[in-house]
């Protein structure tokens, strides 16, 4: 019996994994932070764009909706060019982010029904592998001390060179946390900080439980949840609590206990989540990082008020640093996306980000799709409490949310 191998499908899937891997590496991986190659981010976006083009060309059929993407891309680029002309500044970061959004628009609109989900699933699969490896190495290297670190690398993520222990370039130890009187290594996997790793794991968990249409694989969920908990990120903790409770209530909607919990337990849960987030700040008050996180919102909004329409300029970190108190000399970087966007891009660029959120929420309400709604709201939650304003993964998610309505009607579209 001969097995027929679809070479086109193999290459198509291969390039999807390349795209997903680039999204992960771009999220402040230590491979980028420890690299002396300053052009590496530009090389990543080049590989991303080439992979998307090849992936589109490998498709047997292309949706006519791709014409719509060209119109949206022209409007987007024009909108960004107007911003640059008004502010008299060309930001490499903004150009890179705009290019990413443009190519993802081409990607999703060319075949929205399939690829709006399949690319997210590739990302989810990679994060499962990374999560499993990181848990294993975290236990062996820090908890059990069975094996030693193999060496160290120099990270420039904080602005100052810092030696970071590593294990053969697949696990790094840049951060520690105090947990129940114990000083434990925060599981950061291949990333410069635990919040960024928790962010990617959170997106993978959201995809696993809210996007996939298959039966929930408990092993995959357990891996993601454990990995999130080993990051000691309260932002991740709150997300896990919300999403698991949602799944429980959804799967037991006819159960009397679940019904009672909706009435009594949900308000209590909201209070618990609020306390968890508050604890995230207060637990770090001793080393100043908790106060810095709270101060980030104050500083960001103060800078935004000085230039509310167009902001102080993308990449203009000096304007933000100058508004910080001297006590923050150890930590001059913002920790959330919303205030960085408002401060640097003003309401003008903020509109680019929030149009997809608003459109996605409206479509979810129209479709009565609770999974979509929660996915969008959790993405917004992470956007408010985690810094990834200009990362490629956010470009992907914004376009996915923006094209939700097209993915729903994709089967009805004619193919060319």
Q: Which long-range contacts (CB under 8 A, 24 or more apart) does 85-90 make?
A: 86/310, 87/310, 87/313, 89/313, 89/314
Three-class HEC string of 199-221: HHHHHHHHHHHHHCCCCCCHHHH
Q: Does 93 have pLDDT greater than 60?
A: yes
Residue 409 has pLDDT above 90, yes or no: no
Q: Are 243 and 202 in contact (CB under 8 A)?
A: no
pLDDT-based confidence at 199, cuts 50/70/90?
very high
Give the pLDDT confidence score for residue 258 in this predicted structure.
Answer: 55
Average pLDDT over residues 177-184: 74
> Which tens digits make up the pLDDT trace of 309-360?
999 999 998 888 888 877 776 677 788 999 999 999 999 999 999 999 999 9
- Give the Cα separation of 296 and 386 in Å (integer): 11
pLDDT for 384 equals 95
- CA dist 167 and 318 (Å) reads 35
At 326 the pLDDT is 74
Predicted pLDDT of residue 405: 61
pLDDT at 214: 79
Helices 194-206 and 370-385, interaxial angle, to 10°? 170
Q: Rounded mean pLDDT of the chain?
A: 85
Residue 284: per-residue pLDDT = 56
Asked whether residue 101 carries a pLDDT value surpassing 60, the answer given is yes
The pLDDT of 122-138, averaged and rounded, is 97
pLDDT tens digits along 257-308:
555 555 566 666 667 666 665 655 555 555 556 677 788 899 999 999 999 9
Counting beta carbons within 10 angstroms of the beta carbon of residue 242, is it exposed (0 to 12), middle (13 to 18) or buried (19 or more)? middle
State the pLDDT at residue 281: 54
- Does 243 have pLDDT greater than 80? yes
What is this structure's pTM? 0.90
As a whole number, mean pLDDT of residues 47-59 equals: 90
Range of weakest confidence among 112-121, 158-167, 335-344: 112-121
Who's near 260: CB < 8 A, 6+ residues apart? none
Q: Which residue has the tokens 């290594």?
A: 185
Higher-pLDDT residue of 215 and 18 is 18
Instruction: Please tell me the predicted confidence (pLDDT) of residue 263.
Output: 58
> What confidence category does residue 3 fall into, taking pLDDT thresholds of 50, 70 and 90?
very low
**Phi, psi of 2, rounded to the nearest 5 degrees:** -90, 135
Q: Could you tell me if 193 and 157 are in contact, meaning their C-beta atoms sit under 8 angstroms apart?
A: yes
- pLDDT for 205: 97
pLDDT band at 94 (very low <50, low <70, confident <90, very high): very high
């Amino acid at each position: 019996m001969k097995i027929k191998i679809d070479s086109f499908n193999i290459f198509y899937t291969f390039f999807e994994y390349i795209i997903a891997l680039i999204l992960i590496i771009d999220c402040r991986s230590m491979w980028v932070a420890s690299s002396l190659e300053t052009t590496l981010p530009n090389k990543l976006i080049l590989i991303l764009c080439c992979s998307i083009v090849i992936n589109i060309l490998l498709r047997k059929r292309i949706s006519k909706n791709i014409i719509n993407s060209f119109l949206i891309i022209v409007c987007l680029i024009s909108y960004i060019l107007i911003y640059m002309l008004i502010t008299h500044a060309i930001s490499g970061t903004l150009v890179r982010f705009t290019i990413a959004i443009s190519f993802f628009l081409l990607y999703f609109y060319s075949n929205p029904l399939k690829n709006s989900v399949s690319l997210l699933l590739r990302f989810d699969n990679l994060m499962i592998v990374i999560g499993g490896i990181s848990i294993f190495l975290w236990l062996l290297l820090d908890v059990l001390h069975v094996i030693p670190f193999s060496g160290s690398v120099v990270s420039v993520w904080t602005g100052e060179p810092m030696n970071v222990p590593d294990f053969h370039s697949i696990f790094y130890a840049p951060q520690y946390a105090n947990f129940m009187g114990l000083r434990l290594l925060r599981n950061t996997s291949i990333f410069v900080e635990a919040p960024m790793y928790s962010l990617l794991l959170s997106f993978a968990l959201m995809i696993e439980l809210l996007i996939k249409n298959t039966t929930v694989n408990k092993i995959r969920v357990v891996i993601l949840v454990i990995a999130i908990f080993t990051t000691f990120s309260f932002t991740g903790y709150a997300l896990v609590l919300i999403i698991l409770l949602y799944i429980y209530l959804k799967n037991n909607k006819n159960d009397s206990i679940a019904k009672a919990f909706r009435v009594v337990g949900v308000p209590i849960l909201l209070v618990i989540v609020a306390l968890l987030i508050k604890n995230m700040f207060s637990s770090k008050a001793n080393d100043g990082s908790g106060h810095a996180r709270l101060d980030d919102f104050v500083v960001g909004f103060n800078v935004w008020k000085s230039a509310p329409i167009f902001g102080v300029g993308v990449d203009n970190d000096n304007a933000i640093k100058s508004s910080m108190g001297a006590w923050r000399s150890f930590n001059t970087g913002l920790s959330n996306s919303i205030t960085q966007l408002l401060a640097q891009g003003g309401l003008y660029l903020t509109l680019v980000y929030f149009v997809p959120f608003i459109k996605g929420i409206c479509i979810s309400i129209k479709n009565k799709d609770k999974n979509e709604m929660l996915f969008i709201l959790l993405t917004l939650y992470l956007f408010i409490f985690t810094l990834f304003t200009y990362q490629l993964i956010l470009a992907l998610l914004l376009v996915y949310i923006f094209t939700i309505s097209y993915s729903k009607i994709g089967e009805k579209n004619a193919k060319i």
